[in-house]
C-alpha cells in the first residue's frame, strides 16, 4: 500500500523505526 510505505519511509528518515520491531 503506497500510503503505508510512504509513512514508514518518513518515520525511518527520522530514525523512529527500529529494525527489530519489524
pTM of structure: 0.34
- Give the model's pLDDT for residue 17: 54
Report whether 11 contacts 17 (CB < 8 A).
yes
State the cell numbers at 22: 519489524
CA 10 from centroid of its chain's CA atoms: 6
Q: H/E element holding 6? A: helix 2-13
pLDDT at 16 > cutoff 60? no
Distance CA 11, CA 7 (A): 6
pLDDT at 9 > cutoff 70? yes
Amino acid at each position: 500500500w503506497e500510503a503505508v510505505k510512504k509513512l514508514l519511509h518518513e518515520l525511518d528518515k527520522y530514525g523512529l523505526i527500529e529494525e527489530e520491531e519489524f
